[in-house]
Amino acid sequence: MKSILPTNKSECYICGEYGPTEEHHIFGGSNRKISEQNGFKVDLCHFCHNEPPFGVHYNRKQSDALKKECQLKYEETHSHNEFMGLIGKNYI
């Protein structure tokens, strides 16, 4: 499924850098499949995705900001209870 956030394969969602990107599932681990099924993903450059200290896999503040943004977007068309049923944690 396409992302519910405005992202594209040639531009990093966080820094706006053009070039190759990597798909990031906003809710990973046990929620990775839910992210895939619901479009909870964005395209990130390697630096913003997987390089310390700013990459989302190393920077909780950055990761939580993406989760909050994704939750807000999802709840534009779904209820808060639906989101909680999928993810089980509130990021707002």
Nearest to 48 by CA among 70, 21, 9: 21
Please give the Cα distance from 45 to 75 (Å, whole number): 27
Please give the Cα distance from 85 to 61 (Å, whole number): 23
The structural domains of the chain, with segments of one domain joined by +, span 22-87
Please give the Cα distance from 43 to 9 (Å, whole number): 6
Residues 6+ apart with CB under 8 A from 9: 21, 43
Q: Write out the chain's pLDDT in tens, 92 residues.
A: 899 999 999 999 999 999 999 999 999 999 999 999 999 999 999 999 999 999 999 999 999 999 999 999 999 999 999 999 999 999 99
Q: What is the pTM of this model?
A: 0.92
Task: Please provide the size of the chain in residues.
Answer: 92
